[in-house]
Amino acid sequence: MLRSIIAVAALVLLRFGAASAQQPPELSLREVYDLALERNPMVQAALAAADATAARQPAAVLPPDPEVRVGAMNLSLPGLSADMPGAMAPSIELMQMLPLPGKLRLNGEIARQSTAMALSEAGEVSWEVRARAAMAFYEVYKADRQIEVMEETLDWLRQFEQIATTMYSVGSGTQSDVLRAGVEVARMKADITRMRTMRTSAVARLNALLDRPDTAPVASVVFPQLPASLPPADELMQWAEASRPLLARQRAGIEQAQAREELARKEIWPDLSLGVQYGRRGTDVGTEHMGSLMVGFTVPVFAGRRQLPMRSEAAAMSRMAQAELADARAQVNARITELVADLDRARTLIALYRSEVLPQAEANITSALGSYRVGRVDFMTLVDAQMSANQYAQELYALLADYGATVAELEMTIGRELPATTETIVEEA
């Protein structure tokens, strides 16, 4: 009995009096955000696409390039001789097409909206990559903390095995207790191996988003301070309306569709062409110089099958753009409501686990340990108490990780970071 008491005392000292070791450098969420926006290939591709669209914008307000023709006119056949009275060699002709007033302005407006849409698309991609990086970050965090809980539980189980062995050796325990302790130790080792594999996968996903080698080490991550309270849902929806790139892109799409619709109404009107011509010919008394002036315009002979259907197409595209904005706005508002509910649930559960579930689980372990020592409960009761505490601790860290990932998704949904609050969710409370 004395040996079992000594073993139990050593176990308590091991649990509550372990010396702290120096922690390795930690990766912060802010560093992850900065690296993702700076290095992620998808973000860089979206920004390059916006640059390409912006580079095309200045040309949209320019008329077509003038056309220059050089040749010889009114040559005699079959010898192609310039001895005819009306022959000109050489002949130079310059033609310039002038679109109907207002068309170039509308083309510029359409190009400007294309640039705005491309920039909004790049912003949307940046927020999506940011949210994905946060999710990978919190997966690494959850794996790290759950591994710590498992390793602590493994130490307990090894101590339980020693206690069971000691008590069996003095005749106050059973061999089945020793065997069951060995099984629990082996199972916990397998769970730790599985969790380490999951951490490796999470690190690979995080490195991919940061454009780093998939084997680049991530020693550990630090849990950030997260807001414990949120603005009202309707205020979050107003923020999303003002700053979410997705909605800005849809609004620009409506403006572009309206400009296209106005341009389509002008397509039936003819475009003007102006031209000048210079020619010369040789005569018996010298060289004669001749000039011509030309005016032309397009004739919409296929208006019923070309210009008028363009109006119908533009009107349909305008209606489609408005419907897409309405759908995007509805989806954003619904997602905000859903994420706020998820955060409220997670925040309530985190507080519950910290204030009631985990303290009661720890008290249950202490009670089971003392009762097992004096033979009032069997070994399975002691093991079940420890495994329950292990499960609850892992669930708490999962809730913290889910809360952080949900905050990141909510920030993506509204297109801005949530403001700092006096009350925060931290790792240790």
pLDDT at position 20 is 39
Burial of 55 by CB count in 10 Å (0-12 exposed, 13-18 middle, 19+ buried)? Answer: exposed
Percentage of residues in the chain having pLDDT higher than 90: 62
pLDDT band at 92 (very low <50, low <70, confident <90, very high): confident
Number of residues assigned to the chain: 429
**190-214 exposure pattern, b = at least 16 Cβ within 10 A, e = fewer:** ebbeebeebbeebbbbbbbbbebee
pLDDT, tens digit (0-9, with 9 covering 90-100), for 105-145: 999 999 999 999 999 999 999 999 999 999 999 999 999 99
Predicted pLDDT at 115: 96
Quote the CA–CA distance of 49 and 43 in Å, as a whole number: 10
Q: For residues 164 and 179, what is the distance between their CA atoms, to the nearest angstrom?
A: 9
Q: What is the Rg, in whole angstroms, of the alpha carbon atoms belonging to the chain?
A: 38
Give the pLDDT of residue 25: 67
Q: According to the model, what pLDDT value does residue 315 have?
A: 93
Task: Return the pLDDT at 119.
Answer: 96
pLDDT band, very low/low/confident/very high, at 52 (cuts 50, 70, 90) = very high
pLDDT in tens, 314-332: 999 999 999 999 999 999 9
**Average pLDDT score, the chain:** 87
The C-alpha angle 82, 84, 85, rounded to 5 degrees, equals 120
State yes or no: pLDDT of 19 exceeds 80. no
Query: Do 228 and 423 touch, CB atoms closer than 8 A?
Result: yes
Q: Average the pLDDT over 145-149 and give the result.
A: 95
DSSP three-state, residue 39: helix
The token pair that represents 213 in the structure block: 């080698």
Q: Report the pLDDT value the prediction gives residue 372, as an integer from 0 to 100.
A: 76
- Output the six-digit token pair for 282: 């040789």
What percentage of residues in the chain have a pLDDT greater than 70? 90
Q: What is the pLDDT, as a whole number, of residue 9?
A: 40
Exposure of 266 by Cβ count < 10 A (0-12 exposed, 13-18 middle, 19+ buried)? Answer: middle
Chain centroid to Cα 55, Å, comes to: 26
* pLDDT for residue 383 is more than 70: yes
Separation between Cα atoms, residue 48 and residue 267, nearest integer Å:
33
Check residue 82 and give its pLDDT.
64
What is the three-state SS of 168-208? Answer: HHCCCCCHHHHHHHHHHHHHHHHHHHHHHHHHHHHHHHHHH
Supply the pLDDT for residue 165: 82
Task: Return the CATH fold of 2-63+99-268+303-425.
Answer: Outer membrane efflux proteins (OEP) (1.20.1600)
State the CB neighbour count (10 A cutoff) for residue 172: 14
Per the DSSP assignment, residues forming a β-bridge with 289 are: 280
Higher-confidence residue: 77 or 335?
A: 335
pLDDT for 18 equals: 39
Report the pLDDT value the prediction gives residue 373, as an integer from 0 to 100. Answer: 75
Q: How confident is the model at residue 292 (pLDDT cuts 50, 70, 90)?
A: confident
378 or 87, higher pLDDT = 378
User: 286: phi > 0 → left, psi -120 to 50 → alpha, else beta; which?
Assistant: left
